[in-house]
Structure 1
Amino acid sequence: MKKIIIRSLLLAIVASLAAWALSLTYKNTKPIIDAYAKQQAKKARKEVLPEASEFELVNIGEQEYFIGYDERGERVGVSIKTKTRGYSGPIEMIMGFDMKGEITGLKILNQIETPGLGSKIVEDWFSKQFIKLKAEDLSFTKEDPQGKVEAITAATISSRAALEGAKGLFGLYGDFLKYLKKVEILKYIRDGSYTGEGGGFSGPIRVRVTVQNHRIIRIAILERQEVVEYWSKVREKIPQEILEKQNVDVDIVSGATYSSKGLIEAITNALEKGIER
Protein backbone atom coordinates (compact mmCIF):
# COMPACT_ATOMS: atom_id res chain seq x y z
CA MET A 1 0.00 0.00 0.00
CA LYS A 2 2.85 2.37 0.95
CA LYS A 3 4.54 1.75 -2.44
CA ILE A 4 1.31 2.57 -4.28
CA ILE A 5 0.96 5.83 -2.35
CA ILE A 6 4.58 6.78 -3.07
CA ARG A 7 4.20 6.00 -6.78
CA SER A 8 0.99 8.04 -6.93
CA LEU A 9 2.70 10.99 -5.25
CA LEU A 10 5.66 10.75 -7.63
CA LEU A 11 3.30 10.61 -10.61
CA ALA A 12 1.41 13.66 -9.33
CA ILE A 13 4.68 15.56 -8.84
CA VAL A 14 5.90 14.68 -12.35
CA ALA A 15 2.56 15.72 -13.85
CA SER A 16 2.64 19.01 -11.94
CA LEU A 17 6.20 19.71 -13.09
CA ALA A 18 5.27 18.91 -16.70
CA ALA A 19 2.26 21.23 -16.54
CA TRP A 20 4.41 23.97 -15.01
CA ALA A 21 7.04 23.53 -17.73
CA LEU A 22 4.41 23.72 -20.47
CA SER A 23 2.88 26.80 -18.89
CA LEU A 24 6.28 28.47 -18.67
CA THR A 25 7.10 27.58 -22.27
CA TYR A 26 3.77 28.98 -23.47
CA LYS A 27 4.25 32.16 -21.44
CA ASN A 28 7.74 32.70 -22.89
CA THR A 29 6.92 31.86 -26.50
CA LYS A 30 3.48 33.50 -26.80
CA PRO A 31 4.86 37.05 -27.32
CA ILE A 32 7.16 35.72 -30.06
CA ILE A 33 4.32 33.83 -31.74
CA ASP A 34 1.99 36.84 -31.49
CA ALA A 35 4.64 39.17 -32.93
CA TYR A 36 5.26 36.80 -35.85
CA ALA A 37 1.51 36.48 -36.53
CA LYS A 38 1.17 40.27 -36.48
CA GLN A 39 4.08 40.63 -38.90
CA GLN A 40 2.62 38.03 -41.28
CA ALA A 41 -0.82 39.68 -41.15
CA LYS A 42 0.72 43.04 -42.04
CA LYS A 43 2.63 41.44 -44.90
CA ALA A 44 -0.57 39.84 -46.24
CA ARG A 45 -2.42 43.17 -46.12
CA LYS A 46 0.37 44.78 -48.11
CA GLU A 47 0.27 41.96 -50.67
CA VAL A 48 -3.43 42.34 -51.39
CA LEU A 49 -3.39 46.16 -51.29
CA PRO A 50 0.08 47.03 -52.66
CA GLU A 51 -0.56 50.78 -53.06
CA ALA A 52 -1.00 51.18 -49.30
CA SER A 53 1.93 52.15 -47.10
CA GLU A 54 -0.05 52.46 -43.85
CA PHE A 55 -3.17 50.74 -42.51
CA GLU A 56 -5.84 51.86 -40.06
CA LEU A 57 -7.94 49.28 -38.22
CA VAL A 58 -11.68 49.93 -38.12
CA ASN A 59 -14.18 47.57 -36.49
CA ILE A 60 -17.66 47.49 -37.98
CA GLY A 61 -19.69 45.19 -35.78
CA GLU A 62 -17.46 42.16 -35.20
CA GLN A 63 -15.67 42.48 -38.56
CA GLU A 64 -12.19 44.00 -38.86
CA TYR A 65 -11.37 46.29 -41.78
CA PHE A 66 -7.88 47.62 -42.50
CA ILE A 67 -8.14 50.87 -44.45
CA GLY A 68 -5.06 51.49 -46.60
CA TYR A 69 -3.43 54.89 -47.14
CA ASP A 70 -0.63 55.82 -49.52
CA GLU A 71 2.43 57.91 -48.63
CA ARG A 72 0.44 61.14 -49.12
CA GLY A 73 -2.16 59.98 -46.62
CA GLU A 74 -4.82 59.40 -49.25
CA ARG A 75 -7.13 56.42 -48.87
CA VAL A 76 -6.45 53.82 -51.55
CA GLY A 77 -8.66 50.94 -50.43
CA VAL A 78 -9.32 48.38 -47.75
CA SER A 79 -8.27 44.82 -46.90
CA ILE A 80 -10.75 42.38 -45.38
CA LYS A 81 -10.31 38.85 -44.04
CA THR A 82 -12.83 36.01 -43.94
CA LYS A 83 -13.24 32.24 -43.58
CA THR A 84 -15.10 29.93 -45.91
CA ARG A 85 -15.72 26.18 -45.95
CA GLY A 86 -13.58 24.12 -48.32
CA TYR A 87 -13.53 20.43 -49.24
CA SER A 88 -11.39 19.34 -46.27
CA GLY A 89 -11.97 22.15 -43.80
CA PRO A 90 -11.99 25.91 -43.31
CA ILE A 91 -10.19 28.22 -45.72
CA GLU A 92 -8.96 31.56 -44.39
CA MET A 93 -8.46 34.26 -47.00
CA ILE A 94 -7.81 37.98 -47.30
CA MET A 95 -8.74 40.29 -50.15
CA GLY A 96 -7.96 43.89 -51.02
CA PHE A 97 -10.30 46.37 -52.71
CA ASP A 98 -9.67 49.78 -54.22
CA MET A 99 -12.21 52.57 -53.81
CA LYS A 100 -13.76 51.76 -57.22
CA GLY A 101 -14.86 48.34 -56.02
CA GLU A 102 -12.24 46.30 -57.86
CA ILE A 103 -10.17 43.52 -56.30
CA THR A 104 -6.53 44.52 -55.85
CA GLY A 105 -5.36 41.18 -54.54
CA LEU A 106 -6.39 37.87 -53.00
CA LYS A 107 -4.35 35.60 -50.75
CA ILE A 108 -5.18 32.28 -49.13
CA LEU A 109 -3.82 32.44 -45.58
CA ASN A 110 -4.65 28.96 -44.26
CA GLN A 111 -6.13 25.82 -45.80
CA ILE A 112 -6.05 22.02 -45.43
CA GLU A 113 -7.31 21.08 -48.89
CA THR A 114 -6.20 17.92 -50.71
CA PRO A 115 -2.48 18.20 -51.64
CA GLY A 116 -1.98 18.54 -55.39
CA LEU A 117 -5.66 19.27 -56.01
CA GLY A 118 -7.60 21.68 -53.82
CA SER A 119 -4.37 22.97 -52.28
CA LYS A 120 -3.68 24.67 -55.63
CA ILE A 121 -5.89 27.55 -54.49
CA VAL A 122 -2.72 28.97 -52.88
CA GLU A 123 -0.93 29.13 -56.24
CA ASP A 124 -0.32 32.52 -57.85
CA TRP A 125 -2.12 31.74 -61.10
CA PHE A 126 -5.35 31.07 -59.21
CA SER A 127 -5.30 34.12 -56.93
CA LYS A 128 -4.01 36.57 -59.55
CA GLN A 129 -6.98 35.95 -61.84
CA PHE A 130 -9.16 37.76 -59.28
CA ILE A 131 -7.23 41.04 -59.60
CA LYS A 132 -9.27 43.89 -61.14
CA LEU A 133 -12.48 41.84 -61.00
CA LYS A 134 -15.74 43.31 -59.73
CA ALA A 135 -18.61 41.51 -58.02
CA GLU A 136 -20.40 40.80 -61.31
CA ASP A 137 -17.31 39.00 -62.68
CA LEU A 138 -17.24 36.36 -59.94
CA SER A 139 -18.41 33.19 -61.65
CA PHE A 140 -16.64 30.30 -63.36
CA THR A 141 -15.88 30.60 -67.07
CA LYS A 142 -17.22 27.09 -67.68
CA GLU A 143 -20.58 27.97 -66.09
CA ASP A 144 -21.15 31.55 -67.19
CA PRO A 145 -20.11 33.32 -70.42
CA GLN A 146 -19.58 36.48 -68.35
CA GLY A 147 -17.53 34.67 -65.71
CA LYS A 148 -13.83 35.43 -65.38
CA VAL A 149 -12.63 32.82 -62.88
CA GLU A 150 -11.02 29.58 -64.01
CA ALA A 151 -11.73 26.65 -61.68
CA ILE A 152 -8.98 24.22 -60.70
CA THR A 153 -9.27 20.93 -62.59
CA ALA A 154 -10.58 18.11 -60.35
CA ALA A 155 -10.93 20.53 -57.42
CA THR A 156 -14.27 22.18 -58.05
CA ILE A 157 -15.31 22.29 -54.38
CA SER A 158 -12.12 24.03 -53.28
CA SER A 159 -12.33 26.43 -56.22
CA ARG A 160 -15.94 27.23 -55.46
CA ALA A 161 -15.14 27.77 -51.78
CA ALA A 162 -12.60 30.44 -52.72
CA LEU A 163 -15.05 31.97 -55.18
CA GLU A 164 -17.86 32.09 -52.60
CA GLY A 165 -15.43 33.54 -50.07
CA ALA A 166 -14.63 36.32 -52.53
CA LYS A 167 -18.34 36.98 -53.06
CA GLY A 168 -18.85 37.18 -49.31
CA LEU A 169 -16.00 39.67 -49.05
CA PHE A 170 -17.75 41.89 -51.59
CA GLY A 171 -20.71 41.91 -49.22
CA LEU A 172 -18.42 43.04 -46.39
CA TYR A 173 -16.95 45.67 -48.72
CA GLY A 174 -20.48 46.99 -49.23
CA ASP A 175 -20.84 47.30 -45.44
CA PHE A 176 -17.58 49.24 -45.41
CA LEU A 177 -18.89 51.73 -47.98
CA LYS A 178 -22.03 52.22 -45.90
CA TYR A 179 -19.83 52.91 -42.89
CA LEU A 180 -17.84 55.52 -44.82
CA LYS A 181 -21.05 57.18 -45.90
CA LYS A 182 -22.09 57.47 -42.26
CA VAL A 183 -18.83 58.87 -40.92
CA GLU A 184 -17.97 61.16 -43.83
CA ILE A 185 -21.38 62.48 -44.82
CA LEU A 186 -20.66 65.96 -43.40
CA LYS A 187 -17.92 66.56 -45.97
CA TYR A 188 -20.56 66.92 -48.67
CA ILE A 189 -23.32 68.86 -46.89
CA ARG A 190 -24.10 72.52 -47.48
CA ASP A 191 -24.76 74.85 -44.56
CA GLY A 192 -28.42 75.00 -43.58
CA SER A 193 -31.23 73.31 -41.66
CA TYR A 194 -32.74 70.08 -42.96
CA THR A 195 -35.67 67.96 -41.81
CA GLY A 196 -35.77 64.19 -41.86
CA GLU A 197 -38.02 61.36 -40.78
CA GLY A 198 -37.43 57.86 -39.45
CA GLY A 199 -39.61 55.00 -38.25
CA GLY A 200 -39.72 54.67 -34.47
CA PHE A 201 -41.33 52.05 -32.25
CA SER A 202 -44.69 53.84 -31.94
CA GLY A 203 -44.68 55.97 -35.09
CA PRO A 204 -42.62 58.42 -37.14
CA ILE A 205 -39.81 60.48 -35.64
CA ARG A 206 -39.15 63.85 -37.31
CA VAL A 207 -36.10 66.02 -36.71
CA ARG A 208 -34.45 69.21 -37.91
CA VAL A 209 -30.67 69.18 -38.19
CA THR A 210 -28.63 72.37 -38.57
CA VAL A 211 -25.22 72.25 -40.26
CA GLN A 212 -22.63 75.03 -40.29
CA ASN A 213 -19.12 74.82 -41.77
CA HIS A 214 -19.59 71.07 -42.30
CA ARG A 215 -20.41 70.52 -38.64
CA ILE A 216 -23.70 69.57 -36.99
CA ILE A 217 -24.46 72.34 -34.52
CA ARG A 218 -28.05 71.53 -33.54
CA ILE A 219 -30.52 68.61 -33.56
CA ALA A 220 -34.15 69.44 -32.81
CA ILE A 221 -36.90 66.85 -32.32
CA LEU A 222 -40.02 67.98 -34.20
CA GLU A 223 -42.28 64.97 -33.73
CA ARG A 224 -42.23 61.67 -31.90
CA GLN A 225 -44.73 59.19 -30.47
CA GLU A 226 -42.37 56.98 -28.49
CA VAL A 227 -42.91 55.59 -25.00
CA VAL A 228 -41.59 58.25 -22.61
CA GLU A 229 -39.77 55.73 -20.40
CA TYR A 230 -37.53 54.62 -23.27
CA TRP A 231 -37.53 57.79 -25.34
CA SER A 232 -36.00 59.92 -22.58
CA LYS A 233 -32.83 57.79 -22.67
CA VAL A 234 -32.68 57.89 -26.47
CA ARG A 235 -33.29 61.64 -26.61
CA GLU A 236 -30.54 62.28 -24.10
CA LYS A 237 -27.87 59.96 -25.48
CA ILE A 238 -28.01 59.79 -29.28
CA PRO A 239 -28.10 63.49 -30.30
CA GLN A 240 -25.32 64.24 -27.81
CA GLU A 241 -23.09 61.47 -29.18
CA ILE A 242 -23.72 62.55 -32.77
CA LEU A 243 -22.80 66.14 -31.90
CA GLU A 244 -19.63 64.94 -30.18
CA LYS A 245 -18.53 62.49 -32.90
CA GLN A 246 -19.85 64.58 -35.81
CA ASN A 247 -21.18 61.48 -37.56
CA VAL A 248 -24.16 59.17 -37.22
CA ASP A 249 -22.16 56.01 -36.46
CA VAL A 250 -23.30 55.79 -32.82
CA ASP A 251 -24.50 52.91 -30.65
CA ILE A 252 -28.18 52.29 -30.01
CA VAL A 253 -29.59 52.59 -26.51
CA SER A 254 -30.04 49.23 -24.77
CA GLY A 255 -33.72 48.36 -24.41
CA ALA A 256 -34.79 51.02 -26.93
CA THR A 257 -33.60 49.59 -30.23
CA TYR A 258 -36.44 50.77 -32.49
CA SER A 259 -36.54 54.27 -31.03
CA SER A 260 -32.75 54.55 -31.36
CA LYS A 261 -32.70 53.34 -34.95
CA GLY A 262 -35.64 55.59 -35.83
CA LEU A 263 -33.90 58.69 -34.48
CA ILE A 264 -30.61 57.84 -36.21
CA GLU A 265 -32.51 57.21 -39.45
CA ALA A 266 -34.31 60.55 -39.16
CA ILE A 267 -31.05 62.44 -38.59
CA THR A 268 -29.33 60.60 -41.46
CA ASN A 269 -32.21 61.35 -43.84
CA ALA A 270 -32.10 65.01 -42.84
CA LEU A 271 -28.36 65.22 -43.52
CA GLU A 272 -28.71 63.53 -46.91
CA LYS A 273 -31.01 66.33 -48.05
CA GLY A 274 -28.12 68.75 -47.70
CA ILE A 275 -25.64 66.78 -49.81
CA GLU A 276 -24.23 68.80 -52.71
CA ARG A 277 -25.30 67.12 -55.92
Structure 2
Amino acid sequence: MAHDAHAHDDKNNSIFKIAMNLTITCFISGVIIAGTYAITEPTAAEQRVKAKNDAMKELVKDAEAFKAIDGKEGWYAGIKGGKVIAYVVPASSKGYGGSIDMLAAVTPEGKAMDFKVLKHNETPGLGDKMVEPKFRKQFTNKAASDMEVVKVPTDKNIQALTGATITSRAVTKGVREAVEAVATYSASQKK
Protein backbone atom coordinates (compact mmCIF):
# COMPACT_ATOMS: atom_id res chain seq x y z
CA MET A 1 0.00 0.00 0.00
CA ALA A 2 2.77 2.41 0.99
CA HIS A 3 4.52 1.68 -2.29
CA ASP A 4 1.53 2.95 -4.31
CA ALA A 5 1.36 6.18 -2.33
CA HIS A 6 5.06 6.69 -2.97
CA ALA A 7 4.61 6.22 -6.74
CA HIS A 8 1.78 8.76 -6.61
CA ASP A 9 4.06 11.29 -4.89
CA ASP A 10 6.76 10.79 -7.50
CA LYS A 11 4.25 11.42 -10.25
CA ASN A 12 3.02 14.61 -8.58
CA ASN A 13 6.59 15.65 -7.97
CA SER A 14 7.57 15.26 -11.61
CA ILE A 15 4.48 17.22 -12.76
CA PHE A 16 5.46 19.95 -10.31
CA LYS A 17 9.03 19.95 -11.67
CA ILE A 18 7.77 20.19 -15.26
CA ALA A 19 5.43 23.03 -14.29
CA MET A 20 8.26 24.84 -12.51
CA ASN A 21 10.58 24.38 -15.48
CA LEU A 22 7.92 25.67 -17.84
CA THR A 23 7.28 28.69 -15.61
CA ILE A 24 10.98 29.50 -15.44
CA THR A 25 11.39 29.01 -19.19
CA CYS A 26 8.39 31.27 -19.91
CA PHE A 27 9.74 33.90 -17.55
CA ILE A 28 13.21 33.83 -19.14
CA SER A 29 11.69 33.96 -22.65
CA GLY A 30 9.52 36.89 -21.55
CA VAL A 31 12.57 38.74 -20.26
CA ILE A 32 14.51 38.04 -23.47
CA ILE A 33 11.58 39.13 -25.66
CA ALA A 34 10.97 42.27 -23.58
CA GLY A 35 14.68 43.08 -23.70
CA THR A 36 14.83 42.50 -27.43
CA TYR A 37 11.71 44.64 -27.91
CA ALA A 38 13.25 47.44 -25.84
CA ILE A 39 16.30 47.33 -28.10
CA THR A 40 14.56 46.78 -31.45
CA GLU A 41 11.43 48.91 -30.97
CA PRO A 42 13.24 52.27 -31.28
CA THR A 43 14.99 50.87 -34.35
CA ALA A 44 11.65 49.69 -35.76
CA ALA A 45 10.18 53.14 -35.07
CA GLU A 46 13.18 54.74 -36.82
CA GLN A 47 12.68 52.36 -39.76
CA ARG A 48 9.02 53.41 -39.99
CA VAL A 49 9.99 57.09 -39.95
CA LYS A 50 12.69 56.47 -42.58
CA ALA A 51 10.22 54.51 -44.74
CA LYS A 52 7.73 57.38 -44.50
CA ASN A 53 10.41 59.99 -45.31
CA ASP A 54 11.57 57.92 -48.29
CA ALA A 55 7.96 57.60 -49.49
CA MET A 56 7.44 61.37 -49.19
CA LYS A 57 10.68 62.11 -51.08
CA GLU A 58 9.57 59.70 -53.79
CA LEU A 59 6.22 61.51 -54.09
CA VAL A 60 7.58 65.07 -53.96
CA LYS A 61 11.05 64.88 -55.50
CA ASP A 62 11.59 68.67 -55.49
CA ALA A 63 10.97 69.15 -51.77
CA GLU A 64 13.99 70.15 -49.69
CA ALA A 65 12.27 69.30 -46.40
CA PHE A 66 9.03 68.00 -44.94
CA LYS A 67 7.32 69.69 -42.04
CA ALA A 68 4.58 68.11 -39.94
CA ILE A 69 1.37 70.15 -39.95
CA ASP A 70 -0.06 71.05 -36.56
CA GLY A 71 -3.49 69.68 -35.85
CA LYS A 72 -3.48 67.39 -38.89
CA GLU A 73 -2.30 63.92 -37.96
CA GLY A 74 0.00 62.36 -40.53
CA TRP A 75 -0.01 65.47 -42.73
CA TYR A 76 3.26 66.95 -44.00
CA ALA A 77 4.07 70.00 -46.07
CA GLY A 78 6.78 69.60 -48.70
CA ILE A 79 8.90 72.76 -48.58
CA LYS A 80 11.12 74.23 -51.30
CA GLY A 81 12.71 77.65 -51.06
CA GLY A 82 10.68 78.38 -47.94
CA LYS A 83 7.39 77.77 -49.76
CA VAL A 84 4.93 74.89 -49.53
CA ILE A 85 5.03 73.09 -52.88
CA ALA A 86 2.98 70.05 -51.86
CA TYR A 87 1.07 68.38 -49.07
CA VAL A 88 1.59 64.69 -48.34
CA VAL A 89 -1.42 63.27 -46.54
CA PRO A 90 -2.58 59.80 -45.50
CA ALA A 91 -5.36 58.32 -47.62
CA SER A 92 -7.31 55.16 -47.04
CA SER A 93 -10.15 53.37 -48.75
CA LYS A 94 -11.83 49.99 -48.72
CA GLY A 95 -10.82 47.85 -51.68
CA TYR A 96 -11.75 44.36 -52.79
CA GLY A 97 -9.50 42.67 -50.22
CA GLY A 98 -9.85 45.16 -47.37
CA SER A 99 -8.26 48.47 -46.51
CA ILE A 100 -5.88 50.15 -48.96
CA ASP A 101 -3.57 52.53 -47.09
CA MET A 102 -1.84 55.20 -49.12
CA LEU A 103 0.06 58.46 -48.97
CA ALA A 104 -1.19 61.06 -51.43
CA ALA A 105 0.79 64.06 -52.66
CA VAL A 106 -1.37 67.06 -53.47
CA THR A 107 -0.49 70.55 -54.75
CA PRO A 108 -1.48 73.53 -52.59
CA GLU A 109 -3.96 74.33 -55.40
CA GLY A 110 -5.75 71.04 -54.73
CA LYS A 111 -4.53 68.94 -57.66
CA ALA A 112 -3.29 65.36 -57.30
CA MET A 113 0.42 64.80 -57.89
CA ASP A 114 0.96 61.12 -57.13
CA PHE A 115 0.23 58.49 -54.52
CA LYS A 116 2.02 55.60 -52.92
CA VAL A 117 0.33 52.45 -51.67
CA LEU A 118 1.66 51.49 -48.24
CA LYS A 119 -0.49 48.46 -47.53
CA HIS A 120 -3.12 46.43 -49.38
CA ASN A 121 -4.61 42.96 -49.79
CA GLU A 122 -5.83 43.26 -53.35
CA THR A 123 -5.80 40.36 -55.81
CA PRO A 124 -2.29 39.63 -57.14
CA GLY A 125 -2.01 40.22 -60.89
CA LEU A 126 -5.15 42.40 -61.01
CA GLY A 127 -5.71 44.78 -58.11
CA ASP A 128 -2.03 45.10 -57.29
CA LYS A 129 -1.53 46.85 -60.66
CA MET A 130 -2.69 50.03 -58.86
CA VAL A 131 0.93 50.58 -57.78
CA GLU A 132 2.17 50.74 -61.38
CA PRO A 133 3.08 54.12 -62.92
CA LYS A 134 0.67 53.59 -65.85
CA PHE A 135 -2.31 53.68 -63.48
CA ARG A 136 -0.86 56.22 -61.04
CA LYS A 137 0.06 58.83 -63.63
CA GLN A 138 -3.61 59.18 -64.59
CA PHE A 139 -4.06 61.10 -61.33
CA THR A 140 -1.35 63.69 -61.98
CA ASN A 141 -2.68 67.24 -62.02
CA LYS A 142 -6.32 66.18 -61.67
CA ALA A 143 -8.72 68.02 -59.42
CA ALA A 144 -11.11 66.04 -57.23
CA SER A 145 -13.99 66.66 -59.67
CA ASP A 146 -12.13 64.82 -62.45
CA MET A 147 -11.44 61.73 -60.40
CA GLU A 148 -14.13 59.48 -61.67
CA VAL A 149 -13.50 55.87 -62.67
CA VAL A 150 -14.55 54.95 -66.20
CA LYS A 151 -14.17 51.75 -68.19
CA VAL A 152 -13.78 53.51 -71.52
CA PRO A 153 -10.71 55.74 -71.41
CA THR A 154 -11.00 59.53 -71.59
CA ASP A 155 -8.33 62.12 -70.85
CA LYS A 156 -10.48 63.65 -68.16
CA ASN A 157 -11.17 60.64 -65.94
CA ILE A 158 -9.46 57.60 -64.44
CA GLN A 159 -9.55 54.44 -66.51
CA ALA A 160 -10.30 51.37 -64.37
CA LEU A 161 -7.72 48.61 -64.18
CA THR A 162 -8.85 45.65 -66.28
CA GLY A 163 -10.60 43.15 -64.01
CA ALA A 164 -10.14 45.34 -60.94
CA THR A 165 -12.84 48.01 -61.01
CA ILE A 166 -13.44 47.80 -57.24
CA THR A 167 -9.74 48.41 -56.54
CA SER A 168 -9.65 51.25 -59.09
CA ARG A 169 -12.68 52.92 -57.48
CA ALA A 170 -11.27 52.46 -53.98
CA VAL A 171 -7.90 54.03 -54.83
CA THR A 172 -9.61 56.87 -56.69
CA LYS A 173 -11.96 57.53 -53.76
CA GLY A 174 -9.03 57.59 -51.29
CA VAL A 175 -6.97 59.98 -53.42
CA ARG A 176 -10.02 62.15 -54.23
CA GLU A 177 -10.83 62.53 -50.51
CA ALA A 178 -7.20 63.47 -49.81
CA VAL A 179 -7.29 66.08 -52.61
CA GLU A 180 -10.58 67.52 -51.28
CA ALA A 181 -9.17 67.70 -47.74
CA VAL A 182 -6.05 69.52 -48.95
CA ALA A 183 -8.08 71.92 -51.13
CA THR A 184 -10.24 72.80 -48.10
CA TYR A 185 -7.19 73.17 -45.84
CA SER A 186 -5.33 75.31 -48.42
CA ALA A 187 -8.32 77.63 -48.84
CA SER A 188 -8.52 78.08 -45.04
CA GLN A 189 -4.80 78.99 -44.91
CA LYS A 190 -5.19 81.77 -47.47
CA LYS A 191 -7.76 83.68 -45.39
TM-score of the aligned structures, taking structure 1 as reference length: 0.60
* Unaligned ranges ≥5, structure 2: 1-11
Q: Secondary structure at the match of 1:96?
A: strand
- Please say if 1:158 is aligned against 2:158: no
Distance change in 2, residues 1:26/1:156 (3 Å):
same
Which residue of the partner structure matches residue 40 of structure 2? 29
- Please say if 1:44 is aligned against 2:59: no
Q: Secondary structure at the match of 1:171?
A: helix
Q: Distance in 2 between matches of 1:75 and 1:149?
A: 27
Higher relative contact order (CA 8 A, sep 6+): 2
Greater percentage in helix = 2
Report how far residue 145 of structure 1 moved.
6.0
Report how far residue 73 of structure 1 moved.
1.2
- Please say if 1:106 is aligned against 2:115: yes
Q: Distance in 1 between matches of 2:66 and 2:185?
A: 15
Which residue of the partner structure matches residue 138 of structure 1? 147
Which residue of the partner structure matches residue 78 of structure 2? 68
Counterpart among 70, 73, 80 of residue 59 in structure 1: 70
Tell me if the contact between 1:67 and 1:77 (Cα under 8 Å) persists in the aligned partners: yes
* Unaligned ranges ≥5, structure 1: 186-277
Which residue of the partner structure matches residue 137 of structure 2? 128
Q: Secondary structure at the match of 2:103?
A: strand
Tell me if the contact between 2:111 and 2:140 (Cα under 8 Å) persists in the aligned partners: yes
Report how far residue 115 of structure 1 moved.
1.0
Which residue of the partner structure matches residue 214 of structure 1? none
Q: Distance in 2 between matches of 1:6 and 1:75?
A: 67
- After superposition, give the CA deviation of every residue in 1:141-169 in whole Å (9 maximum; x if it has no partner): 33796742111111111111101101211
- After superposition, give the CA deviation of every residue in 1:65-116 in whole Å (9 maximum; x if it has no partner): 211111x212212111122111112111111111222212111111111111
| Identity among equivalent pairs (%) | 27
Q: Secondary structure at the match of 1:59?
A: coil
Tell me if the contact between 1:49 and 1:97 (Cα under 8 Å) persists in the aligned partners: no
Tell me if the contact between 2:114 and 2:140 (Cα under 8 Å) persists in the aligned partners: yes
Q: Distance in 2 between matches of 1:141 and 1:14?
A: 60
Counterpart among 90, 98, 119 of residue 81 in structure 1: 90
Tell me if the contact between 2:110 and 2:143 (Cα under 8 Å) persists in the aligned partners: yes
